[in-house]
Amino acid sequence: MNQAKSVAEGFITVSSVIWLFACITVSANSNQWLSLGLFAFLAVPFLVRGILSFRGFKAKVTAQAAVKKAKTVLMALQGFGFACWFLDVISTIFAININQTSSELNILGWPFGAVGALAYYIPITFLTYFLLYKAKSKESFYVAVLITAVTVFMGLRNLNAGLYNLSSMQINSSAAGLETLGILLAIMSTLSTFNILAAIRKNHAWQKLALQKS
């Protein structure tokens, strides 16, 4: 359960960064004030969550706790791939389905081409979990690091494709612009909610720790 939470937190963190940047990109082709409003709507809770999370890096940890943190980071990085894939899919919807200014280059076509990356990300996440928490050896840990590096590389390819879709996208009608902003609003609202909940949990955790020390 904790490992799944780490993947989810990695996804939310990376997605928040990606979509904050994407919101600025989309604003150049649509309602700038509304897009910048959505940017602030997510940026504030994300910043608060980041400040609360930074407290944990200041505390001194034992070697065993450091290994545990390293495993948590490796699981969270699996969420990096999913976040980049999500951007690629949504940006492709913007470009192909809504604005009809692009075409799918994958030989499987759209939307079947989007499934290809999931065929890698999903099983590799379970494999990383097995290597880190079931095999429990130095060799399995290093293999998990190598696999995670490949996942990050795959994610960067999806990220590059998604950012290219956004940068080259042209909104051809007011209806397409409203539909694009509507999807963007749903994404930013969801990410903002998750960041707020994460910030509340971290704040409660720090308050509980302070009470135990006092």
What does the DSSP 8-state code read for residue 96? I
Q: Do residues 211 and 202 lie in contact, with contact meaning Cβ atoms separated by under 8 Å?
A: no
Tokens 């994300």 label which residue?
Answer: 46
C-beta of residue 150 within 8 angstroms of C-beta of residue 2: no
Residue 71's Cβ-count burial label (10 Å; 0-12, 13-18, 19+) is buried
Residue 32 CB contacts under 8 Å (≥ 6 apart), including other chains: none
What does the pLDDT read at residue 92? 86
Angle at 52 between CA 51 and CA 54, to 5 degrees: 65
d(CA 39, CA 11): 18
Question: What pLDDT is recorded for position 166?
Answer: 81
Looking at residue 80, its pLDDT comes to 95
Q: What is the pLDDT of residue 47?
A: 92
pLDDT tens digits for the chain (214 residues)?
A: 688 889 999 999 999 999 998 887 776 666 667 777 888 889 999 998 888 877 655 556 676 777 888 899 999 999 999 999 999 999 888 877 777 666 666 655 566 667 777 888 999 999 999 999 988 788 899 999 999 999 999 999 999 988 888 877 766 667 777 788 888 889 999 999 999 998 888 777 767 766 666 5
- Exposure of 75 by Cβ count < 10 A (0-12 exposed, 13-18 middle, 19+ buried)? buried
What pLDDT score was predicted for residue 213? 63
